[in-house]
Structure 1
């Protein structure tokens, strides 16, 4: 297997210049598409593809969007083996982000949900008990219909940040701007932590920075879309950086645990990384005693963060119950949901209505729990078998695979979810195509106004996803050697 730190050949100067300016042109076209038909407050979601196309600026919007996405994805893909330098990667990613910083919200209307959830809390209503519509948010018409009557699925830290944005923003536009500032702050924190983590994992920083920061998921969804995933990733990487730099140090591990806890109280998906962070926290040989000692300090910091933020918000742990509503959306882009759709279609052919989607989703969550246990156990056994002091790559790669499993087996998948495992895989994976390709494909799933194309391709998408899963399963069972 190719070593993760083996330096690939540097890209040629022509490819480097072409990639930089093709990506910039793509970002500009995406910003133009946003102003023509993005997720503006008064722009409703398209009911059908035809209604989007027949809008006054529909053809221009879709043309700019598709060409811009293709340029951005192509430029990112062309340098997937690594940018010419770390500095070049940072400068180029920042250059691409500039047009998207001043664009309207793109690819999703979630930022308006954030605004209404913050408004709800700021006006003394529990967002985990009352939907934004029932709370009387004045901006509820800007929220996607599916999320108007559901409680918030996010943790208390993000609710507090959203309420702060509402209090300082003075209105919907100001609130959206501040929510984008918060998302960019999370990205900057992640960008600051990337080089240290890449060096600790033995991966070229120029490759890690490029894959993690220049991808279309970052510019379109985390910058322009202002998704709170950016804040989660920033806190997550910061906690992991402290762990790998100061293993075995109680004060550092308490701080790292607190940061990981804050990440969980932004978005609960971050919790799957914590057991692997505990492995990285061990100083010296990996024994059960060392794991309980050093992992205990990490767990203490995490629990303290959960308790303090839940108490300070005055909401307690009501946010845990809100997580059950995150799967209200049913789309074939979630593999378990796609399988459930196919079972329902097969049942309909014989006059039955299996209602398989909830069942398959429940089975997938049980499978996820088992996969996470296996991944952790394999990482633990690997670390215990090393004679020398191991680097943190084993633990970090285990965390990356845990996020892959979480994304693949969750009841719902949105394009920006691909950013979770992408960042950690950029830091640890030896080969890139297997995870860069799905992330590139996911960039084409959403339209600028937030319309998800999976809504219009339910049956063929479900069949294609299920076929892909069967092919992957058969390939795995054959036991062909592949680099993990």
Structure 2
């Protein structure tokens, strides 16, 4: 029995579907060409600006191919946002778009070189949570963005072990990057396997869920070509959730699911916000405090075991928690609390003061995030508590998954830093649960234009206007939410 989901959208016509497929493929090919002309190649100059890229011999062609390719890929994805013609069609098209990007150089970021150096550091007996890759003596240091050369690794021990494996087997920088991309693609294949089961449980058309996530331009550019470890985190996360939904209340399955969620956390700690909602999905039958503690306890046991075992096997303990404090070293207006902090600092400069508001606003946002997560969990719990026995099994997966999706939205919006590929976290679960798509598809589409092929982040060069625009947008959203919340209901006649 599946949960009642959004209304099934009409199938796109054969002509529009075919046009979308080959428009997106043309976009992916143009992005690959842009990558070879001016992507994040090992010997590409660092610290460039859009203007300096334009002045290079291949600069105009690079930027034109990149912008045109991004526009074509985003447009094709957007045109079928209500669902592809079929699930198989969505898989085939997403795979077709990924083919050129599989052979492209790293695109949109230089993080894969940081991964390579962190793996090399661990493989050579140095603790990557104690020193940066510069102090460790990584031979590929020149490829790493300067801001990350002296900071400890912010990733968990599972990913450090994977990066070390890639560095050991790769034999050199190129081989290491190729293996890191293979690892990222393996994570996406796990996502692809889990999506149909989760979509059916949530009552969402599989053809829509697969299209929204796997065909997303951010997935192709940043998770495939960019080889970001978010792909591994999402694969483990969705796999753990699928095990829970298929076998609620079963101790062995919940231990396994908890271990998978724990592995996701030890890739990227942001996955932890999903765990309380996973506990709601783990309950079989009526939701009572006693049953929640029992089934949630098995889940927590598996998660804790994964954390302890991976920290012990790696020999790194929990030093990776300290590395998380450096993830916000980059200040960009794409993070709403950072943008508001910028605006407060600008206002302070006008009156001759320097408030240093960014760290304060970031701290406030993290406190607010904790409160939002509690409210979201409580609402999901109350919803499930109010369902009778006949409805609870059908509604439980959808309620829990949607709560987890909103938790990831809150984590991304209130995080001290935002990079475009972070948008894939909530997208993975919103694709499975959201009724309307435009509200989250539009920001994802905009995020696809925030980087250039060599990893240049356009937010660095639009600090003041970007901060003002983000703050204005944030205020508008807050006012609309307050207006909707306090809208008076219909009056009753006596």
Give the TM interval when normalised to the shorter protein.
over 0.9
2:251 corresponds in structure 1 to 250
1:190 corresponds in structure 2 to 191
The Cα of 1:151 is off from its aligned counterpart by 0.3
1:342 corresponds in structure 2 to 343
The Cα of 1:480 is off from its aligned counterpart by 6.0
Pairing 1:300–2:301 present: yes
Pairing 1:260–2:257 present: no
Q: Distance in 1 between matches of 2:172 and 2:15?
A: 46
Q: Distance in 1 between matches of 2:420 and 2:47?
A: 18
2:122 corresponds in structure 1 to 121
CA deviations on 1:269-303 (whole Å, 9 max, x unpaired) are: 00000000000000000000110010000000000
8 Å CA contact 2:336, 2:413 repeated in 1: yes
- Runs of 4+ in structure 1 deviating by more than 6 angstroms, as ranges, are none
Specify whether residues 468 and 5 from structure 1 end up closer, same or farther in structure 2 by C-alpha distance, changes over 3 A only: closer
2:83 corresponds in structure 1 to 82
Choose the corresponding residue for 1:444, options 449, 468, 493.
Answer: 449
Choose the corresponding residue for 1:410, options 410, 415, 433.
Answer: 415
Q: Secondary structure at the match of 1:479?
A: helix
8 Å CA contact 2:6, 2:434 repeated in 1: no
Superposed, 1:249-328 pairs within 5 Å as 249-328=250-329
1:419 corresponds in structure 2 to 424
Q: Distance in 1 between matches of 2:45 and 2:425?
A: 29
CA deviations on 1:128-169 (whole Å, 9 max, x unpaired) are: 001000000000110011000100000000000000000100
1:42 corresponds in structure 2 to 43
CA deviations on 1:160-219 (whole Å, 9 max, x unpaired) are: 000000010000000000000000000000000000000000000000000010000100
Choose the corresponding residue for 2:469, options 461, 464, 469.
Answer: 464
* Structure 2 alignment gaps of length 5 or more: 488-494
The Cα of 1:4 is off from its aligned counterpart by 2.6
Q: Which moved more, 1:389-398 or 1:144-153?
A: 389-398
Q: Distance in 2 between matches of 1:7 and 1:241?
A: 22
Q: Distance in 2 between matches of 1:54 and 1:362?
A: 41
Superposed, 1:1-400 pairs within 5 Å as 4-388=5-389, 389-390=392-393, 391=395, 392-400=397-405
Aligned CA RMSD, in angstroms, stands at 1.1
8 Å CA contact 1:46, 1:52 repeated in 2: no
CA deviations on 1:297-350 (whole Å, 9 max, x unpaired) are: 000000000000000000000000110000000000000000000000000000
Q: Distance in 2 between matches of 1:237 and 1:480?
A: 32
8 Å CA contact 2:20, 2:76 repeated in 1: yes
Q: Distance in 2 between matches of 1:370 and 1:337?
A: 19
Q: Secondary structure at the match of 1:478?
A: helix
Choose the corresponding residue for 2:484, options 465, 479, 483.
Answer: 479
Q: Distance in 2 between matches of 1:341 and 1:272?
A: 27
8 Å CA contact 2:49, 2:456 repeated in 1: no
Q: Distance in 2 between matches of 1:52 and 1:60?
A: 10
Q: Distance in 2 between matches of 1:291 and 1:162?
A: 37
8 Å CA contact 1:45, 1:450 repeated in 2: no
Q: Distance in 2 between matches of 1:330 and 1:151?
A: 18
Q: Distance in 2 between matches of 1:315 and 1:11?
A: 52
The Cα of 1:433 is off from its aligned counterpart by 0.3
The Cα of 1:481 is off from its aligned counterpart by 9.3
The Cα of 1:5 is off from its aligned counterpart by 3.8
CA deviations on 1:368-389 (whole Å, 9 max, x unpaired) are: 0000000000000000000132
The Cα of 1:6 is off from its aligned counterpart by 1.8
Q: Which moved more, 1:221-230 or 1:5-14?
A: 5-14
* Structure 1 alignment gaps of length 5 or more: none
2:491 corresponds in structure 1 to none
Q: Distance in 2 between matches of 1:86 and 1:62?
A: 34
CA deviations on 1:434-454 (whole Å, 9 max, x unpaired) are: 000000000000000000000
The Cα of 1:46 is off from its aligned counterpart by 4.5
Q: Secondary structure at the match of 2:112?
A: helix
Q: Distance in 1 between matches of 2:6 and 2:398?
A: 11
The Cα of 1:47 is off from its aligned counterpart by 2.7
Q: Distance in 2 between matches of 1:153 and 1:435?
A: 27
Aligned residues: 481
1:434 corresponds in structure 2 to 439
